[in-house]
């Protein structure tokens, strides 16, 4: 078996596991999530292999009256939110740190992106294995 095929298969399976996990979180948020409004209180500069980017920090008050801050898991181009913007937030009552901005691109987008990435890697793994 070709090393490239194995590497692609492992990457694809890893992305697939991440997509299933994120899908389960989204499903729990849709069934049991608490809806509230949050405020983008800051945009923090981070750096990764693609260079610097800005990640929003959103604050909201949970049902117990505690202030909770989180950064969306979905980050990158087109995912930013302006400081001072009010956004709808959905979170799990028993764990308010598991929260998402209630926008398609922040809730469903990561599941779609991870699933697509998994299929691409798995497809290339099969292609490499068949052509070797």
Note down pLDDT in tens along the chain; length 132 residues.
688 889 999 999 999 999 999 999 999 999 999 999 999 999 888 777 776 778 899 999 999 999 999 988 776 665 678 889 999 999 999 999 999 999 887 788 889 999 999 999 999 999 988 887
Q: Between the CA of residue 54 and those of 26, 57, 68, what are the distances in Å?
A: 24, 10, 20
What pLDDT, on the 0 to 100 scale, is given for residue 119?
A: 94
Question: Alpha helix locations (H) across the chain?
Answer: 3-32, 104-107, 109-131
What pLDDT, on the 0 to 100 scale, is given for residue 1?
A: 61
Q: Between the CA of residue 31 and those of 3, 14, 100, 119, what are the distances in Å?
A: 42, 26, 14, 27
What pLDDT, on the 0 to 100 scale, is given for residue 85?
A: 92
pTM for the model stands at 0.77
Tell me if 26 sits within 8 A of 107, measured CB to CB: yes
What pLDDT, on the 0 to 100 scale, is given for residue 78?
A: 59
């Amino acid at each position: 078996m070709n090393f490239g095929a194995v590497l692609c298969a492992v990457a694809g399976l890893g992305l697939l596991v991440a997509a299933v996990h994120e899908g389960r979180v989204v499903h729990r948020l849709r069934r049991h999530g608490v809806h509230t409004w949050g405020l983008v209180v800051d945009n923090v500069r981070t750096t990764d292999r693609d260079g610097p980017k800005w990640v929003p920090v959103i604050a909201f008050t949970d049902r117990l009256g505690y202030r909770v801050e989180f950064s969306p898991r979905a980050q990158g181009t087109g995912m930013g939110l302006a400081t001072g913007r009010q956004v709808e937030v959905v979170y799990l009552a028993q764990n308010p740190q598991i929260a998402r901005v209630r926008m398609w691109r922040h809730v469903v987008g990561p599941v779609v992106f991870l699933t697509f990435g998994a299929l691409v890697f798995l497809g290339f793994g099969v292609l490499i294995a068949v052509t070797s």
